[in-house]
Structure 1
Amino acid sequence: MAPKQLPAVLLAACAVFLALAAPLLAGDPDMLQDFCVADYKSLQGPLRLNGLPCKRPENVTANDFFSDAVSLPGNTNNPVGSAVTAVNVEKLPGLNTLGVSMSRIDYAPWGVNPPHTHPRATEIIFVLEGSLDVGFVTTGGYLYARTVCKGELFVFPRGLIHFQKNNGGAPALAISAFNSQLPGTQSSAVSLFGASPPVPTDVLVRALQIDGGVVEAIKSKFPPKN
């Protein structure tokens, strides 16, 4: 006895469902090797990847997986009173394809890690010394903020503007972890006032509802990077 054929309408519905589902199932592929140490020399040519090419296994050493960058405090003698020491795939080649990285953040007394975003990662911060006032702003404009003390954690969701402030008169220290080998950092102030070429002053005047002279004064504090 021959099996019944599916009605044409049902077949069409299945085809539409599979077409819509395919993009939802797409994502980073699982690793196909134990590691893929970044081969920076390959980037000197025209080849560009969404990530970094791998070293040949025979050229890999234990030092490709090692860094002492977070062992030393950063210099907080700057206008914001904080220093971020990032350890990502650009600094530690063994992180390539592993999807993790971290940073050390040092704060001078009352120092601030200014509002910024990480477009490619969620961040979890662990306070080692001192006490921080932290917060992030949702896309709807709601601020979630609280104090985080020594030994405590706080999470900043991926892509949302967030900040930290040392709320004490002594230095503070924190470690941040990210679920990306290269989370990226976009400073809100630098993006608006230090872009190259610059964001037009009249755009910022209307967006921020401030005087053009104030915009120019702020821009002078964030010279564009060449």
Structure 2
Amino acid sequence: MIFPIFFTFVLLLSTSHAADFCVGDLKAPESPAGYSCKKAEKVTVDDFVFSGLGVAGNTSNIIKAAVTPAFAAQFPGVNGLGISLARLDLASGGVIPFHTHPGASEVLLVTQGSIVAGFISSANSVYYKTLKKGDIMVFPQGLLHFQLNGGGYPATAFVSFSSPSPGLQILDFALFKNDLPTSLVAATTFLDVAQIKKLKGVLGGTN
């Protein structure tokens, strides 16, 4: 009787750490539930450390902004934990256009400069404010939201998410960076065809 109990106890001790975390195996495909777990013997402390948020992103692009993610794909230690982070850099005039995160709510903390941020509820109520250093703002899961640097100098913020893979869909890119026929875009947005073609040309869409 003692031996089976002892054996079970030893087995629990040898496998208990596996229930503590599930470091993502980035060599395996990602599913809606996340990555499969890396084998315990291959897990190292480096899987739980990410240093990429200490460097400013490159803002020399059309939106004058950069997002540096620390999601499960970059930071396998957060796989399965329901959390992740990102760094947001905005040059003067930089903007993160209206976008959604289908899989997570978001909390933004401004650490430098000022950022106008806001979201639109499903009832089309608008909530926005100019955030200063030290201010935080929450964006509920799935709602359209934006961040804009209206100041004359760079702004920085750090963002946390309630998912290791929050997902991202930028509204402008969804409309104008694809091959959806211009006639359909016009019919569903009430925009002028010439304007749609211009935006597709800027963002890389066709048709």
Report which stretch shifted further, 50-59 or 156-165: 50-59
Native 8 Å contact 2:18 2:40 kept in 1? no
- For 1:38, the aligned partner's letter is G
- For 1:61, the aligned partner's letter is T
Task: Establish whether residue 42 from structure 1 lines up as the match of residue 28 from structure 2.
Answer: yes
Q: Distance in 2 between matches of 1:199 and 1:121?
A: 27
Equivalent residue number for residue 123 of structure 1: 106
Equivalent residue number for residue 26 of structure 1: none
Q: Distance in 2 between matches of 1:40 and 1:77?
A: 29
Q: CA offset at residue 49 of structure 1?
A: 6.4
Task: Establish whether residue 80 from structure 1 lines up as the match of residue 63 from structure 2.
Answer: yes
Q: Distance in 1 between matches of 2:36 and 2:133?
A: 39
Task: Establish whether residue 160 from structure 1 lines up as the match of residue 143 from structure 2.
Answer: yes
Equivalent residue number for residue 70 of structure 1: 53
Q: Distance in 1 between matches of 2:121 and 2:18?
A: 36
> Under a length normalisation based on structure 2, what TM-score does the superposition of the two structures give?
0.87
Q: CA offset at residue 207 of structure 1?
A: 2.2
Could you tell me which runs of 5 or more consecutive residues in structure 1 were left unpaired when the two chains were aligned.
1-30
Q: CA offset at residue 77 of structure 1?
A: 1.0
SS at match of 2:62: coil
Equivalent residue number for residue 25 of structure 1: none
Q: Distance in 2 between matches of 1:221 and 1:142?
A: 30
Q: CA offset at residue 93 of structure 1?
A: 0.9
Task: Establish whether residue 220 from structure 1 lines up as the match of residue 198 from structure 2.
Answer: no
Equivalent residue number for residue 115 of structure 2: 132
Question: Residues 146 and 49 (structure 1 numbering): CA distance in 2 closer, same or farther, change over 3 Å?
Answer: closer
SS at match of 1:73: coil
Report which stretch shifted further, 113-122 or 31-40: 31-40
- For 2:204, the aligned partner's letter is P
Count of residues in Structure 1 that have an aligned counterpart in Structure 2:
190
Could you tell me which runs of 5 or more consecutive residues in structure 2 were left unpaired when the two chains were aligned.
1-16
Residues 202-213 of structure 1 mapped to structure 2, 5 A cutoff: 202-213=183-194
Rg (Cα) greater in structure: 1
Q: Distance in 2 between matches of 1:63 and 1:69?
A: 13
Equivalent residue number for residue 10 of structure 2: none
- Same amino acid, percent of matched pairs: 38
Q: Distance in 2 between matches of 1:182 and 1:49?
A: 9
Q: CA offset at residue 201 of structure 1?
A: 1.2
SS at match of 1:139: coil
Q: CA offset at residue 134 of structure 1?
A: 0.8
Report which stretch shifted further, 106-115 or 124-133: 106-115
Q: Distance in 2 between matches of 1:98 and 1:85?
A: 19
Native 8 Å contact 2:24 2:36 kept in 1? yes
Q: CA offset at residue 48 of structure 1?
A: 5.4
Task: Establish whether residue 193 from structure 1 lines up as the match of residue 176 from structure 2.
Answer: yes
Equivalent residue number for residue 95 of structure 2: 112
Equivalent residue number for residue 14 of structure 1: none
- For 2:195, the aligned partner's letter is V
